[in-house]
Amino acid sequence: MTQPLSKPPRKNPVARTRQPTLPPASRSRRTLGLTASAAAGRFDLQVCQECRAVQYPPREVCHRCLSDQLLWQPVAPRGTLLASTTLHHSNDLFFRERLPWRIGTVQLESGPRAIAHVHGDCEDGKPVKLALKLDRSGQAVMIALPEKATPNMEDDKVLRETSCDPKFRRALVTDGKSAVGLAVIKALLDAGATTVFAGDPHTWKKNRAFDALCEDPRVLPQALDITDTDSVERLSRSIGGKVEILVNTADYAREGGILHNRDLLKAQDAFNVNCLGLMRLAQHFGPAMAGRGADGTANAVAWVNTLSIYAHLNLPSRGMWSASQAAALSASQCLRNELRPAGIRVVNVFSGPIDYEWEQLTPPPRVSPSAIASAIVRALRDGVEEAYVGDVAQEFLARMHDNPKGLERELGTQS
C-alpha cells in the first residue's frame, strides 16, 4: 500500500532550498532509443528483424544471431520481479538524498532481464508491469509497477520522481481566457493542483467562463500579456517562485499564407505571441523554476507548450502562423536542454485544428479544448515529453514518419 502524499507544508523561507541534482545521465548513443520511447510514453525495445530476439540492454548487433537489423518496436511491458533490494547507501548524490530506494531484477516476458526501479507495491516473485520513464536527468529508466493499479500508487516516490503530477502542485496557465486555457485550468484543478494562477491577457475583455472559474479560491487571476516584457517580468517577480508547472496556452492563430499577405502585421503578431512570448516567459519564469527543481515533493517539474502539429510541417493555408509555431517548437527544444540540469521537463503537446472560433472554416474532425487539457494532465502524470492529441494529430504523426515529403505536398492541396 502506498502511503498517500499529504499536502506539503508552506515553504520555510529561512531554510536552504535543496538544489537540483540529477541521476546518472550518461548513455551510449544506441541506448538513446530508450529515451525516445520513454519521451513518447511507449515501451519499445530493439527487436531483431532476422531472429525476433528482443535485446536489453541495447545492442549494436543481435545477441543471438549477430544481425544488425535491430528495430525499436513495441514489446509486451510485462515481466516477473525476480528479486528486489532496498538501497540504504549510495555513492550517487541524487540517490543519497532519496534513500531508501528500491530496485530489482525483472525477467521480461519477451526474454531479456532488466534492472529496474521498483514501485513499493510490487512483490518479489510476482508479475509486474513495466514502463520506460524519463528520470530527472531526462534519460529513460525501467520502472516495475504493480500489475494492477493500487490505491495512491502515483504517490510512490519512485513514480513521483519520474512524473510531473499536478497533485499538490501550483500551476500557471499563461492565457486562462482562451478556449484551451479555460479547459486546462479546470483539468489541473481536477487533477489536484493546489493553486492555478490564471493568466489574463485582456483584463478589459469580459469572459463569463473565466469569471466563473475564478470564483474557485484555488484559481488566482493574474494580469499577463506575454507580448509585453514588463508584464511578464512583473508577474514573475510576484509569483515566479511559486510556479511548479507552467502551461503556455497563449496562441495567436490567423489564416493566410505568405505570398499574398505583404502586410506582415499578422506574421509579426503571430511570432510575437507564439515564439517571442515563449522566450519572454522562459527568461522570466525559467530561472525561478530551475532553482526549485528539487524543492521537496512539490518541486518545480514541468513546462508545457501547447503547439500545433503544423509546427512540424507548414500548412500553407495558415502559412505565417505555421512558421511561428515552427519557431516556437525550435525554441522549446532549446528550453528543454536549458532546463534539463534542473530536472524540469519541457512537454510539448501537439494538436490538430482546435474546435474554437479561429478554426471556424476548418472541416471536422477538430479537437476539443477539453481533450487537449486532459492530454496535458495525462502527459504530466505519465511524465512524457511529447503528446499528440486527437485523430488528426495522430494521423499526421504517422504520415510524417511514413513520408514527410509526401505529407508536405499533400498539405499544399488542403484548404
Partner 1 sequence: MTRRRASYEGVVATVPVTVPYVRYSIHSAHWWLGKALRALIDGSGLRKHDIDGMCVSSFTLVPDTAVGLTQHLDMAPRWLDHIPMGGASGVVALRRATRAVQAGDADVVACLSGDTNHVDSFRQTISQFSRFAQDAVYPYGAGGPNASFALLTHNYMRMTGATREDFGKLCVAQRDNALRHPNALMKKPLTLQQYMDAKLITDPIHLFDCVMPCAGADAFLVMREEKAVALGLPFVRILSTIERHNAWADDPIQYRGGWSMDKDDLYEQAQIGPGDIDFMQAYDDYPVINFLQMEDLGLCEKGGAPQFVRDNTFTVDGTMPFNTNGGQLSGGQAGAAGGYLGMVEALRQLTGTAGGTQVKDAAIGLVSGFGLINYDRGICTAAALLARGAA
Q: How far is the CB of 125 from partner 1 (least distance, A)?
A: 9
Candidates 5, 46, 62, 94: give the one binding partner 1 (CB under 8 A). Answer: 94
Q: In terms of DSSP bridges, do strands 127-134 and 78-87 run parallel, antiparallel, or are they unpaired? A: antiparallel
23 binds partner 1 (CB under 8 A): yes
Q: How far is the CB of 76 from partner 1 (least distance, A)?
A: 17
Residue 317 binds to partner 1 (criterion: CB under 8 A): no
Residues 133-162 that bind partner 1 (CB under 8 A): 135, 137, 139, 141-142
Angle 256-260-266 (CA atoms, 0-180°, nearest 5)?
45
Closest separation in Å from C-beta 20 to partner 1:
16
Q: Using CB under 8 A, which of the segments 103-111, 126-134, 188-196, 271-279 binds partner 1?
A: 103-111
Structural contact between residues 207 and 183, judged by C-beta atoms closer than 8 angstroms: no
Segment (H or E) for 277: helix 277-291
Binding-site size for partner 1 (CB under 8 A) equals 38
Residue 127 found at the interface with partner 1 (CB under 8 A): no
By CB under 8 A, tell whether 295 contacts partner 1: no
DSSP 319-371: HHHHHHHHHHHHHHHHHHHHHGGGTPEEEEEEESSBSSGGGTTSPSP-B-HHH
Query: Closest approach of Cβ 50 to partner 1, in Å?
Result: 19
Torsion from C-alpha of 154, 158, 160, 163, nearest 10 degrees: -90
78 binds partner 1 (CB under 8 A): no
Closest separation between CB of residue 34 and partner 1, Å? 8
Largest CA distance in the chain: 69
Nearest-approach distance from CB 303 to partner 1, in angstroms: 23
Task: Please pick, from the candidates 7, 18, 19, 24, the single residue that binds partner 1 as defined by CB under 8 A.
Answer: 24
The reply to whether 55 sits near partner 1 by the rule CB under 8 A is no
Cβ(346)–Cβ(164) under 8 Å?
Answer: no
- The Cα 370–Cα 368 span in angstroms is 5
Please report whether residue 57 would count as binding partner 1 according to CB under 8 A. yes
Does 12 help bind partner 1 (rule: CB under 8 A)? no
Residue 117 or 284: the one with the smaller Cβ distance to partner 1 is 117
Query: Counting contacts by CB under 8 A, is residue 45 touching partner 1?
Result: no
Q: Which of 103, 130, 196, 393 binds partner 1 (CB under 8 A)?
A: 103
By CB under 8 A, residue 43 contacts partner 1: no
Task: Yes or no: say if 414 and 395 are a contact pair by the CB < 8 Å rule.
Answer: no
Query: What is the CA angle 203-209-210, rounded to 5?
Result: 35
**Contact track, partner 1, 242-281, x by CB under 8 A:** ----------------------------------------
Strand order in the sheet with 44-48: 54-55, 44-48, 70-74
Q: Which is nearer to partner 1, 128 or 182 (CB)?
A: 128
Stretch that binds partner 1, among 8-16, 114-122, 184-192, 317-325 (CB under 8 A): 114-122
Compute the C-alpha angle 42/44/49, nearest 5°: 150
Q: Is the CB of residue 103 less than 8 Å from the CB of residue 85?
A: yes
Q: How far is the CB of 92 from partner 1 (least distance, A)?
A: 4
Residues 191-210 contacting partner 1, CB under 8 A: none
Cα separation, 408 vs 325, whole angstroms: 16
How many whole angstroms from its chain centre is CA 118?
A: 22
Which amino acid appears at position 288 of this protein? A
Q: Computed from CA positions of residues 387, 393, 398, 403, in that sequence, does the dihedral angle turn out positive or negative?
A: negative
The binding site for partner 1 (CB under 8 A) comprises: 23-28, 31, 56-58, 82-92, 94-95, 101, 103-105, 107, 113-117, 135, 137, 139, 141-142
